Amino acid sequence: MKPKRQRGLKDLIPLLLMLLSVAYPFLVWLHIDSVDPRWFGGALLLVALVRMAVVDTARKTSDWLMTAVIVTFCIAVILLDSEILLKCYPVMMSAGMGLLFLISLRDEQSLIERFARAGGKHPPPQASNYLNRLSLICGMLLLLNALIAAWTVWYSSLAVWTLYNGLLFYVFVAVFFVIELMFRRHYKKKHKIIDD
């Protein structure tokens, strides 16, 4: 039996980065009038580099591609000092993640299945179809969110942009997660899938 790995500060960093992503629209809203966009770009670049340094070294090509897109975006914000570009960060992240979910359907394991395995689960073969469909739905919803987020960048006020990208999107994600959890229980019961 494998000894349990001790958890340390390195395990907290992904959680802190996720909380920072959630807080991002509010930080922009609070400081857009007093802080140049290039400083936000620099902070985002630092976060991306820290994430790259602390995440497991066994990264897939898609992980490196996403990191390269984020770094390129941050450098563009720094060089152009653009408020509009700064507000496009949620658009880029949703579109990028949505495409990763969809592209993963061509791999041996979908992104959802990879997440499950990274968490120590070993989904049985009969769950593969469900995990693929869930990856497809997640990908489509993230692309839809990218379109809505883009609309808030170009056609709404900073307050509406902040409200949607900083709160409403996460409420939608939470509702989707609860619905998926309930459906998953039904699916596992129907197909007699037992967790290992």
Q: Which of 8-12, 26-30, 38-42, 104-108 has the lowest mean pLDDT?
A: 8-12
**Whether residue 5 has pLDDT greater than 60:** no
State the pLDDT at residue 44: 84
pLDDT for 176 equals 95
> Are 142 and 97 in contact, with CB atoms under 8 Å apart?
yes
What is the spatial distance between Cα 87 and Cα 26, in angstroms, rounded to a whole number?
11
Residue 2's pLDDT is: 45
- Average pLDDT score over residue span 38-48: 86
Instruction: Judge whether 40 and 77 are in contact, CB under 8 Å.
Output: yes
What per-residue confidence (pLDDT) applies to 1?
A: 45
Q: Give pLDDT tens digits for 74-121.
A: 999 999 999 899 899 999 989 989 998 999 898 888 888 888 777 777
Residue predicted with more confidence, 193 or 28: 28
Task: Give the mean model confidence (pLDDT) for residues 165-177.
Answer: 93
Percent of the chain with pLDDT over 70: 85
Q: What does the block give as tokens for 87?
A: 């507000």
Burial of residue 88 (number of CB atoms within 10 Å: 0-12, 13-18, 19+):
buried
Read out DSSP for 95-162?
HHHHHHHHHGGGSSS-HHHHHHHHTT----GGGHHHHHHHHHHHHHHHHHHHHHHHHHHHHS-HHHHH
- pTM, two decimals, is 0.81
pLDDT of residue 47: 81
- Domains of the chain, by residue range, sit at 9-190
Cα separation, 141 vs 99, in Å, equals 11
